[in-house]
A = this chain, B = another copy of it.
Amino acid sequence: MSYALRGIQTSPETQKRVRDAADELGYTAHAVARALVSGRTGLVGVLSGSLEDLGEQRFVQALDRALGEKGFSMLVTDARGEPQREAELARQLGDRWVDGLIVSPLDPSADLWEQIAETLPLVTVGDALPGPTVGEVLFDNRTGVSLVLEHLHALGHRRVAVLTPSRPTTPDRPAEVVVQEVCRKLDLSATVVNSPHSLEGAARVAAAVLDGRPRPTAIFCLSDSIACGVYAAAYDHGLRLPGQLSVAGYDDHPIANVLTPGLTSVSWDSTDVAAAAATLLAAAVDGRRRARSGSTIRVVPRLVERRSTRRHS
């Protein structure tokens, strides 16, 4: 049957007869059975830290393209910002459904990743992992954060609030640590506050921040989603942007260009990142025999200045 359909050791006319019959009956090879014998499912698990984030949504979309070109389909799951949920989902996906895993880990320090990497090709996107993986696309968050904070500093801002995605249980949040370091260096007073990615949630958090006294003159959001929430909160407070409050984002989602005023944001090309991740993963899946090479691709961010940041007078 398998031979007949693919024309191996088969006369052309038999192949045609079999094909026609298959078409007529609507027969298609049972993908699960094939996967069992071939040991490949052609599926890639994508574990998002929080699908609520517009940036991650866009990244998933980009991954669909990139993985599709390599012949993979995407199994998407959402950790919803909860590291323990992330761990559980990762384990589930480890049950051999997927040929590989692409994760932007909420908690890069967890041993979990090391365990998973033993079983499965694992590509991480974002923060660095302590252990070796099959590949990682590494964001240079240090540079990204520095770009924004130095930009705000240069504009005369000294009281800055930083809204980071909430990561309840992780002890050392990489981005946050970097923020503290850079602030110390610049002699900037920064209040770091956790925020959910949802626009409503971020707006609530931002409202609280804006009610604080003394009020910060600028808010730096570690995702554009959160920045959107800040826009809404600023509007509710009757604050004009950027006159009375500067705002900067992270990810440079297309929406940054649509907001008024345009949102200053840290840009990295999600298409490139997705393609890099897909390539790394595909290579790992193809050549499992090779030792885990642990390729690292560095993504260097760039600051896109728009009108949401202005000199503080």
Q: Which residues does A use to contact B, with CB under 8 Å?
A: 26, 28-33, 35-36, 41, 43, 51-52, 54, 57-58, 60-61, 64-65, 68, 73-78, 91-92, 94-97, 115, 118-119, 198-200, 228-229, 231-232, 235, 254-255, 257-260
Contacts and interface: CB of A to CB of B under 8 A. Distances in A.
Nearest to A80: B65
Contacts of A259: 258-260
A-B interface, 6 closest residue pairs, ranked by CB to CB distance from nearest? A57-B57, A31-B95, A199-B254, A51-B61, A228-B258, A64-B78
A28 B51 CA distance: 27
A97 B75 CA distance: 12
A282 to B, nearest CB: 18
B41 A65 contact: no
B198 A254 contact: yes
Contacts of A73: 75, 77, 92, 97
A22 to B, nearest CB: 13
Contact of A199 (B57, B94, B257): B257
A61 B41 CA distance: 24
A75 B43 contact: yes
A267 to B, nearest CB: 14
Contact of A258 (B43, B52, B76, B199): B199
A77 B64 contact: yes
Given A64-B78, A199-B255, 10 more contacts: A51-B60, A57-B57, A57-B58, A60-B60, A74-B77, A200-B254, A228-B254, A231-B258, A259-B259, A260-B260
